């Protein structure tokens, strides 16, 4: 039975209190391939009440009980792996290879990582005669985005379960189908009634109801900086904890001792992954001015080699962007780059040649970008790279940090010690030196308007824990 038009509340699939539906659009075809129900504050009330009831018992479960639950979730997730990947391919327009090998895979990675973390995590320690203990935060409201949907669901839900929290999840209404599959996984794995609840809906309705709900103890949100600020304001009256993972405009610093061509080419590949729809994408590339010519020729060649088209094809690297709204925003910013005098190296406004339907954007590279240009300051969230040239290391540090964001930064260098020293000067929550392997136990999160708190691994678990001191615990 399809659960597309239902919510998952208190261990059962239920109909919305007030029936309303929303089409789910496949961005590759611009046509609806499914419908979901969208909820209201009344549906949120039911879900929160279920989570509140369940918290009494679930928060008192043992580490071993929660480990057993997470291992069952892991087993069912792997059984439903293809369903997760296919849902993301359709709703996001993610190329099939990306959907399987990155989008669905990182969900499996987070589940496995939190199991490892929970096996060894120390919830209690003595400080003299005082017990310092970490306990479940409470009922958590989770609001997740569309761009890496399963990544954000698993890196919130699974650490919260490991901590002993209960939760209400509102996924993005634009890409909601993988969340339905995930709720089915949770049900089959035997998550206790009320521990995990799913309510679909709009941010202005369901998201707002979650943010201000008096019986929710914590909000964990991933999305735009604008929405994060609104959520913080809505949560303030009830003084709940608010954890935010927001936007970015990440610098990619290529030092003069790096392999310039290799570094520029890999930077292009990174920006174009997921059609540029990643909050930590390295969208500002800084190149020493003396290497301008090689940077331009390499960037043009690499961007024009990016295969764009039908996400069902295994030969495609880049699919469409998520929606007409995003498409139009990106087109506006590309035109702004042209109008403000940046050099258009390749790409530009409009769809790629031969693609007349679908929200496809041309892989676009600008050079001679200056810091005050919109394309250097605003998060475009599309396949658009800005190249800025610099003359000294002092200058590039200043330029890299000249942003309201601080999610990630990237360094390319042939001198590891030099890169290490530079990493300490960058105001970002993550710094990546020379394209390292992904570390799911590294803290993920940002400085400044990129948010607060951290996700992934042990850092993600700690976000869902309160600290209690029991003074006089030992005589």
Q: Where in the chain are the domains?
A: 7-246+450-470, 251-440
Q: Using alpha carbons, list the distances in angstroms from residue 205 to 7, 24, 37, 155.
A: 15, 18, 13, 24
What's residue 2's pLDDT?
A: 87
Top CATH class of 7-246+450-470 equals: alpha beta
In whole angstroms, give the CA distance from residue 119 to residue 116.
5
Residue 245 is a catalytic residue:
yes
Look at the block and give the residue holding tokens 């961005």: 27
3-state helix, strand, coil split of the chain in percent (to 5) is 40, 20, 35
Half-sphere exposure (CA, 13 Å, Cβ side) for 268? Answer: 27
- Region 297-325: what's the mean pLDDT? 98
pLDDT of 248 strictly over 80: yes
What's residue 143's pLDDT?
A: 98
Percent of the chain with pLDDT over 70: 100
Contact (CB, 8 A) for 283 and 273: no
- Predicted confidence band of residue 244 (pLDDT cuts 50, 70, 90): very high
pLDDT of 120 strictly over 90: yes
pLDDT of 191 strictly over 80: yes
- pLDDT, the chain, mean: 98
pTM value? 0.97
Closest by alpha carbon to 226, among 204, 201, 198, 251?
A: 204
Closest by alpha carbon to 146, among 237, 223, 217, 259?
A: 223
Closest by alpha carbon to 155, among 146, 170, 142, 137?
A: 142
pLDDT of 324 strictly over 80: yes
| Residue 312, token pair as written in the block | 């069902």
| Residue 289, token pair as written in the block | 């001015």
Give the tens place of pLDDT for each residue, 7-27. 999 999 999 999 999 999 999
What's residue 286's pLDDT?
A: 99
Give the count of beta carbons closer than 10 Å to the beta carbon of residue 155.
28
In whole angstroms, give the CA distance from residue 366 to residue 346.
7
H/E element, 242: strand 241-245
What's residue 104's pLDDT?
A: 98
Q: Using alpha carbons, list the distances in angstroms from residue 238 to 90, 211, 212, 221, 442.
A: 38, 9, 7, 17, 31
Contact (CB, 8 A) for 244 and 467: no
Give the count of beta carbons closer than 10 Å to the beta carbon of residue 128.
8
Contact (CB, 8 A) for 288 and 256: yes
- Predicted confidence band of residue 360 (pLDDT cuts 50, 70, 90): very high
Pairing verdict, β 384-390 and 408-412: unpaired
The fold for domain 251-440 equals Aldehyde Dehydrogenase; Chain A, domain 2 (3.40.309)
| 139: three-class secondary structure by DSSP | strand
- Predicted confidence band of residue 1 (pLDDT cuts 50, 70, 90): low
What's residue 285's pLDDT?
A: 98
End-to-end CA separation in angstroms for the chain: 59
- Region 422-451: what's the mean pLDDT? 98
In whole angstroms, give the CA distance from residue 59 to residue 70.
15
Give the tens place of pLDDT for each residue, 53-85. 999 999 999 999 999 999 999 999 999 999 999
- Region 200-218: what's the mean pLDDT? 98
The catalytic residue among 91, 173, 205, 245 is 245
In whole angstroms, give the CA distance from residue 318 to residue 21.
30
């Amino acid at each position: 039975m399809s659960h597309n038009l239902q919510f998952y509340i208190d261990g059962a699939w239920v109909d919305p209190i007030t029936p309303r539906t929303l089409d789910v659009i496949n961005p590759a075809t611009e046509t609806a391939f499914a419908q979901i129900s969208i909820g209201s504050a009344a549906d949120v009330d039911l879900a929160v009440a279920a989570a509140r009831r369940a918290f009494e018992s679930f928060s008192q479960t043992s580490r071993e009980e929660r480990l057993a639950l997470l291992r069952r979730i892991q087993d069912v997730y792997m059984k439903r792996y293809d369903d997760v990947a296919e849902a993301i391919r359709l709703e996001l327009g993610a190329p099939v290879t990306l959907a399987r090998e990155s989008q669905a895979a990182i969900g499996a990675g987070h589940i496995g990582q939190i199991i490892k973390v929970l096996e060894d995590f120390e919830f209690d320690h003595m400080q003299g005669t005082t017990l310092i203990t970490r306990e479940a935060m409470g009922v958590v409201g989770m609001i997740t985005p569309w761009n890496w949907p399963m990544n954000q669901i698993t890196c919130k839900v699974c650490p919260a379960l490991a901590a002993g929290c209960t939760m209400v999840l509102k996924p993005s209404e634009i890409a909601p189908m993988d969340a339905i599959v995930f709720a089915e996984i949770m049900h089959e794995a035997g998550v206790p009634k009320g521990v995990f609840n799913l309510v679909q809906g709009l941010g202005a309705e369901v998201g707002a109801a979650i943010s201000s709900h008096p019986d929710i103890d914590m909000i964990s949100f991933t999305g735009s900086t604008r929405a994060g600020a609104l959520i913080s304001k809505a949560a303030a009256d009830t003084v709940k904890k608010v954890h935010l993972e927001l936007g970015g405009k990440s610098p990619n610093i290529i030092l003069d001792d790096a392999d310039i061509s290799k570094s520029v080419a890999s930077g292009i590949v990174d920006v174009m992954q997921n059609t540029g729809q990643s909050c930590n994408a390295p969208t500002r590339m800084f190149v020493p001015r003396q290497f301008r010519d090689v940077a331009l020729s390499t960037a043009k060649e690499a961007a024009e080699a990016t295969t764009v088209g039908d996400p069902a094809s295994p030969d495609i690297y880049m699919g469409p962007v998520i929606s007409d709204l995003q498409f139009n925003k990106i087109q506006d910013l590309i035109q702004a780059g042209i109008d403000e005098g940046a050099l258009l190296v390749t790409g530009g406004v409009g769809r790629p040649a031969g693609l007349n339907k679908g929200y496809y954007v041309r892989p676009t590279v600008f050079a001679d970008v200056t810091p005050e240009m919109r394309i250097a300051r605003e998060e475009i969230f599309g396949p658009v790279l800005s190249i800025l040239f610099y003359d000294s290391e002092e200058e590039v540090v200043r330029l890299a940090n000249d942003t309201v964001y601080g999610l990630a930064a990237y360094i390319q260098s042939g001198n590891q010690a030099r890169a290490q020293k530079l990493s300490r000067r960058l105001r970002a929550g993550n710094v990546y030196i020379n394209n390292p392997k992904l570390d799911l136990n590294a803290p993920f999160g940002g400085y400044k308007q990129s948010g607060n708190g951290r996700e992934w691994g042990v850092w993600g678990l700690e976000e869902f824990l309160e600290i209690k001191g029991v003074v006089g615990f030992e005589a």
